[in-house]
Structure 1
Amino acid sequence: MREQRLTEPRQGATCDTLLTVAKATEDLGFDAFFRSDHYLKMGSVDGLPGPTDAWITLAGLARETKRIRLGTLMTAATFRLPGVLAIQVAQVDRMSGGRVELGLGAGWFEEERAAYGIPFPKEKFGRAEEQPEIVTGLWATEPGKSYDCHGTYYDLTDSPALPKPAQRRIPELIGGHGASRTPRLAGQYADEFNMPFGSVEDSERQFGRVRAAAVEAGRAADDLVCSNALVVCVGRDDQEVARRAAAMGREVDELKVDADRRPRRAGPPSTLRARWAASRARAW
């Protein structure tokens, strides 16, 4: 079982804070440090000092850490052209010595697009469907050969397909709640499927769809890792949990189990371990 930290810097974090968290992640024995790819805060927090870019952050952390995996949950396909993204991710992978993982999604937060002038195309999922093929194709092209792809949304001609990542294959993560297109995309391209903030029941159902889609794509059902993104608020006692929940702009009761029965993580470590074991037995 892999344990990783997912951070939400858009809610308010300096580069120094992110470096401190990443180093603590490594020192405490976690396997990976992931971050979201957003440019606008959510909720009642002030979001100061402002957003940080996901791949610029990971490039810096690649030089400041030695062991942990580094990645995104999820890079928004509509933030970056696939050819540019392939260059960015390959470069950070080389800077880290081969420790990068790419989480790729369509992008959903329309308000941040309006705030920073980022296009929000109607066919955003269609674009996200083309991106894994292009990014993977560029990395897989043999040195000295060129890559071409003429899709509906992206057109690449005679690309030298450089640079190459340090890893032979960068693990790709795809996630989401969609009942058909998302599992099909994950079944075809993903090394890991991530269920974002879903209930145990919804996770169990979606994992089944993804595994079935993998079989349809000619892969084994257990060829993919299945994972959850969950909110965590840990404290030694109720007072510490309440203080940390307030800093997140959340209520303690909401963090324990919300109205949709999604398994949040709030409480002392012993309680969280028991909840994790119960949900893992159900959905995995």
Structure 2
Amino acid sequence: MRLRIFLEPQQGATYEDQLAVARAAEELGFDAVYRSDHYLHMGDHVSGLPGPTDAWITLAGLARETSRIRLGTLMTAATFRYPGPLAISVAQVDRMSGGRVDFGFGAGWYEEEHAAYGIPFPAAARERFDRYEEQLDIVTGLWSTPVGETFRYEGKYYRLAEGPALPKPEQEPYPPVLIGGTGPKRTPRLAAKFADEYNVPFASLEDTAAAFERTRTAVRASGRSAPMIYSAAQVLCVGRDEAEIARRAERIGREVDELRRNGLAGTPDELVDRLGAFGEAGAERVYLQVLDMSDLDHLELVASKVVPQLD
């Protein structure tokens, strides 16, 4: 199992905070650093200061200031950007990183942040998913178009005239695509069609296993031959003893007992057991949601006491 670090900068973080975590994660041997793509903080226990940072601008900076670790989003919202410019941005960051970008992409869901920054938000979930599916067609279609050929698209919501479909990403045919969520029908179908990795965020072990199985069923029904990677995201709160666990839980506004039920909380040995259960359910990667970016010792503890037991 590979462990990846997942950040929520909209809760309150500068670019420098994110860079410090990325550099520490790279030095400690973690597989990747991902970040959310949100413009508004969540919850009453945080102020969100100094304010949000844009996901792909941030990743462009990190691409130039790291050398090994993979970089990506969980998840870029389809509502935030037009598909053509989004394809350009992600391709450019992939080239800037030397081919270390993963493209996590979702339909968008947080209505309040759209209102806060003047971003249109289709009220109907069906329309959001229809737009999302067209964007998946367009972004992957632009990247897949051979150099020297043009790309045209006629959809209900998006229409592209004959265009050069440039630039191309560093990775061929394009960066790995991640699709996530626990929707029972459409999400598994879209994952089977477009995704290299299917992610279940912040769900119970039982619900994660059930979501994996729905997507496996969709993959088989699609006739797909390419492998699918299955992954989970869970909040992290690990400590050497109960006092350290409690201190870390308090810093992120959570209760220890609740985190033990709904996340990856406890001692390193407890974390190993919990990760093992997710592995038995089919998770090949786990994204550790690190909410306190100032606590780099948290990462060191996982790297030194948890990771060696997973090999």
> Which string of whole-angstrom CA distances, capped at 9 and with x for unpartnered residues, describes residues 194-244 of structure 1?
001111111111111111211222214x71100001000122222222222
The amino acid that maps onto 2:68 is R
Aligned to 2:50: 49
How many Å apart are 1:279 and its aligned residue? 2.8
Q: 1:128 is paired with a residue of what secondary structure?
A: helix
Distance 2:73 2:96 in 1: 16
Q: 2:67 is paired with a residue of what secondary structure?
A: coil
The amino acid that maps onto 1:213 is A
Q: Any residues of structure 2 matched to 1:111-190 within 5 Å, and which?
A: 111-121=112-122, 122=124, 123-168=127-172, 169-190=174-195
Judge conservation of contact 2:34–2:71 (CA < 8 Å) in 1: yes
Q: 2:199 is paired with a residue of what secondary structure?
A: strand
Judge conservation of contact 1:149–1:156 (CA < 8 Å) in 2: yes
The amino acid that maps onto 2:62 is L
Segments of 4+ moved more than 6 angstroms: none
TM (norm. structure 1) is: 0.95
Q: Any residues of structure 2 matched to 1:1-284 within 5 Å, and which?
A: 1-43=1-43, 44-121=45-122, 122=124, 123-168=127-172, 169-220=174-225, 223-257=227-261, 262=262, 264-284=263-283
Judge conservation of contact 2:15–2:58 (CA < 8 Å) in 1: yes
Distance 1:203 1:278 in 2: 11
Distance 1:278 1:135 in 2: 35
Which blocks of at least 5 consecutive residues in structure 1 are unaligned?
A: none
Distance 2:152 2:48 in 1: 41
How many Å apart are 1:172 and its aligned residue? 0.1
Distance 2:13 2:273 in 1: 30
Which blocks of at least 5 consecutive residues in structure 2 are unaligned?
A: 284-311
> Which string of whole-angstrom CA distances, capped at 9 and with x for unpartnered residues, describes residues 146-177 of structure 1?
00010111101111100000000210000011
Give the number of the structure with larger relative contact order, counting CA–CA contacts within 8 Å between residues 6 or more apart. Answer: 2
The amino acid that maps onto 2:61 is G
How many Å apart are 1:282 and its aligned residue? 3.2
Q: 2:156 is paired with a residue of what secondary structure?
A: coil
The amino acid that maps onto 2:189 is R
Distance 1:48 1:208 in 2: 40
Task: Kindly tell me the number of residue pairs found equivalent between the two proteins.
Answer: 278
RMSD of the TM alignment (CA)? 1.2
How many Å apart are 1:246 and its aligned residue? 1.7
The amino acid that maps onto 1:105 is G
Distance 1:240 1:151 in 2: 53
The amino acid that maps onto 2:231 is S
> Which string of whole-angstrom CA distances, capped at 9 and with x for unpartnered residues, describes residues 113-167 of structure 1?
1111111013111111111111111011111110001011110111110000000
How many Å apart are 1:108 and its aligned residue? 0.6
Q: Percent identity?
A: 62
How many Å apart are 1:278 and its aligned residue? 2.1
Q: 2:2 is paired with a residue of what secondary structure?
A: coil
